[in-house]
Structure 1
Amino acid sequence: MDSRSGPSRARLCVGLLSGTSVDAVEAVLCRIEGTGPRVRITLLAHVSRPFAPEFTQRVLSAQDARALCELNFALGERFAEAALEVISRAGHRPEDVDVIGSHGQTVAHWPSSLSDTPSTLQLGEASVIAERTGISVVSDFRTRDMAAGGQGAPLVPYLDWALFRKPGVARALQNLGGIGNVSVVSERLEDTIAFDTGPGNMVMDGLARRISGGQLSCDLDGHLSRGGRVVPHLLEELLAHPFLALPPPRSAGREGFGDALVTRLWERARDTRPEDLMATAVEFTVEATARAYETWLLPRFTLEAVYVSGGGIRNPVLMERLTARLAPLPVHPVDALGLPEGAKEAVCFALLANEYLWGTPANVPSATGARRQVVLGKLTP
């Protein structure tokens, strides 16, 4: 994936995360050599361990202190299981592995654009992961950037720059997870721009659970949205969301595009066909993403192409609409650059753990708004 060379000892690093869609733990094992601009990453194995629907609902509904406390340890157990599985899948033993980088599960994210007391909370107890695996864990990657005045997100631009930059070319890396985010990378890290574009799959997923009475966790294969028509007045109401008018750096979460928004939309559209509601939610993601490009990216960059990853890539209706809306800009899956899209974000946290051990700053101030570069993460031996 990266041919840059430099003398270094290779490390075996696990990367773990559960995204804002709260559907699975993604785990990778990577061989990583070097650091910074000379880093080289080889993906050895990737596993995805889905959450049971009732566990997903437990994560989404946790609010009081006891529920969050217990969930922190329950997630730690699931992350540890995923780490052990991916190590075994690669034909290695836990004692072969140097470090685990665990992003955990974000349950709250209140950056400076949304709160007078910027804060963030990821669960998935690192002590449980370390105890179950016998491997040191680096976790809690967002907090140091926020302490340095940043948004604490997005974190993936560092990986995007490390793996996908190309001299003389600007590339957009678009993730469509629960939240959408984009990185534009070129040769220099300090020229990287990245921010959350707005909704990814989160609104669609919430509607799918309501439409199906909990039987569906997403608009599977686009079946619901393909049978619907966009409701113009609902779409315009959604596009008036205040987050979409914020300039970068900006980051979003479940607070802005989660259950509260889905509930308002569901109650506002009681007489709307479910298929039309889903088609409108798809168009919300497409239009929010396209407008972010038109406002903040296309006036500044001549983009080679957009490379897409995240769960949204598996919704053919979403991808058809996004490709048409961004035309003539080419849209490709990130697999075209040599990395399986489902593994990408987990690879990021393997890399961030490696950079922690090197002492290499891995936030991108031009993306997060931090005052300076800082080393990200906390070590649990």
Structure 2
Amino acid sequence: MHPVERLLRPGPRVVAGLMSGTSLDGVDAAVVRLEGTATDLEVETLGFVSERYDAPLHDAIAACVETATSDVRMVSQLHARLGHHFAGAALAALEDAGLTPADLDLVGSHGQTVHHVPRAEEIAEVPTRSTLQIGCPATIATTLGVPVVADFRSADLALGGQAAPLAPYIDGALFSHPSETRVLLNLGGIANLTVLPPGSPPAAAFDTGPANMVIDALALRLTGRGYDLDGALAATGTPDQAVLEDVLTAPFFVQPPPKSTGREDFGTPFVDWLVGRGPSSPVDLLATATAFTARSVADAVSRFVDPTPDRVIASGGGVHNPTLMRMLADALDPVPLETTAAYGLDPDAKESVLFAILAHEWANGVRTGLPAVTGASRAAFQGSLTLP
């Protein structure tokens, strides 16, 4: 039997989902039992781990994603190196689930985004858009002995879409409600949201700006630690309202969806600008960055979500920052703010579960692209298969 024949057989599958985001903090890996499709999807999380990047690997990735410090040799080498790290995260998640690679049917791996150009820029005299995620799927497949579906963004980009965000598929499948308008919010390195009208597929989804990315970069620069633990420093500071109003007038924030962003807009040059323009006190600067995330999310909800949602349901690493969540709740008031934990899904595991689901739907023959979200000309068949 050809390995693809076994993979495409209907029925439940055990799938590992692998994800590393713009925070560059490590790989999240979930092992999930999946059956069905779309809103009839049945999901059981069997194991979950977060495998942090050690300092040398983090620093190499951080250099790779900045155009001033990256080079083609670094991209090539990290593509292979990260394949091994992603495979190791999958093995750790299998151990957490009490399983072995022999129990896996499939792996869905997002990889690590190192560059994303959703708006056309000229290359060799032709306007071109691109996206690049590294973390070699052949390395993962060979290490685990399991087929891997990866490269989930390129097909949507080829059809004229933004190739982001991808989370709306899991949002629509697991969180739609017959009578409520809901906003699903992911607070990773970048913040993105999905608008779910009552009983309908996602009506819109888009990036709202940075979530943890700018806060973490400032914390590293000001304190030597790559995050503000529990938002404790920001909690003692005062946001600079003039800087907030200034930055929120930037073209990205007023641009209507579909739209996506990343380190290309909010990486080192933006942090340099904020340090030069913002308050001199480190805690005030961190408070300003944290308030910036909260305000940019709330402003996006106010500008682009109609009618006003019944609730906002958050996931991602930002939910563990009490100062950010307090500022966000205040900015969204009177719309209530919850997390996916209230609905049975670990907020940390959501994105890795997403890539298990996208791989499962690839095997189901389902087009998971959402043109209403990305602006693509039609629904993309997302993902490319690599066999061990």
TM tier, smaller: over 0.9
Q: Quote the residue 2:312 is aligned against.
A: 306
- Separation of aligned partners in 2, 1:18 and 1:132: 19
Task: Look up the equivalent residue of 2:299 and give its one-letter code.
Answer: R
Q: Quote the residue 2:220 is aligned against.
A: 209
Q: CA deviation at 1:302?
A: 4.1
- Separation of aligned partners in 1, 2:30 and 2:291: 32
Alignment partner of 1:120 is 2:127:
no
SS of aligned partner of 1:111: strand
Q: CA deviation at 1:27?
A: 0.2
Q: CA deviation at 1:187?
A: 5.3
Say if 1:58 and 1:64 are closer, same or farther in 2 by CA, change over 3 A: same
Alpha-carbon displacement from aligned partner over 1:53-78 (angstroms, at most 9, x marks no partner)? 33222111111001111111111110
SS of aligned partner of 1:342: coil
Alpha-carbon displacement from aligned partner over 1:65-106 (angstroms, at most 9, x marks no partner)? 011111111111100000111112111110110100000011
Say if 1:113 and 1:328 are closer, same or farther in 2 by CA, change over 3 A: farther
Q: CA deviation at 1:257?
A: 0.9
Q: CA deviation at 1:191?
A: 4.6
- Separation of aligned partners in 2, 1:43 and 1:226: 34
Q: Quote the residue 1:10 is aligned against.
A: 12
- Separation of aligned partners in 1, 2:191 and 2:294: 10
Alignment partner of 1:218 is 2:227:
yes
Conserved? CA contact 1:190–1:364, under 8 Å: no
Alpha-carbon displacement from aligned partner over 1:203-250 (angstroms, at most 9, x marks no partner)? 1111011001xx311111112111111122322232222211111000
Q: Quote the residue 1:364 is aligned against.
A: 370
Conserved? CA contact 1:161–1:192, under 8 Å: no
Instruction: Summarize the alignment of residues 200-349 of structure 1 with structure 2, pairs less than 5 Å apart.
Output: 200-212=211-223, 215-269=224-278, 272-297=280-305, 300-349=306-355
Task: Look up the equivalent residue of 1:16 and give its one-letter code.
Answer: L
Alignment partner of 1:107 is 2:109:
no
Conserved? CA contact 1:361–1:375, under 8 Å: yes
Q: CA deviation at 1:114?
A: 7.0
The number of residue pairs the alignment matches comes to 370
Conserved? CA contact 1:157–1:192, under 8 Å: no
Alpha-carbon displacement from aligned partner over 1:150-180 (angstroms, at most 9, x marks no partner)? 1000000000001111212221111111111
Task: Look up the equivalent residue of 1:352 and give its one-letter code.
Answer: L
- Separation of aligned partners in 2, 1:191 and 1:180: 17
- Separation of aligned partners in 1, 2:199 and 2:133: 30
* Cα-Cα RMSD: 1.6
Q: CA deviation at 1:112?
A: 2.4
Task: Look up the equivalent residue of 1:207 and give its one-letter code.
Answer: L
SS of aligned partner of 1:303: coil
User: Which runs of 5 or more structure 1 residues have no equivalent in the other structure?
Assistant: 1-6
Aligned-pair identity in percent equals: 43
Conserved? CA contact 2:39–2:174, under 8 Å: no
Q: Quote the residue 1:3 is aligned against.
A: none
User: Which runs of 5 or more structure 2 residues have no equivalent in the other structure?
Assistant: 1-8, 65-69
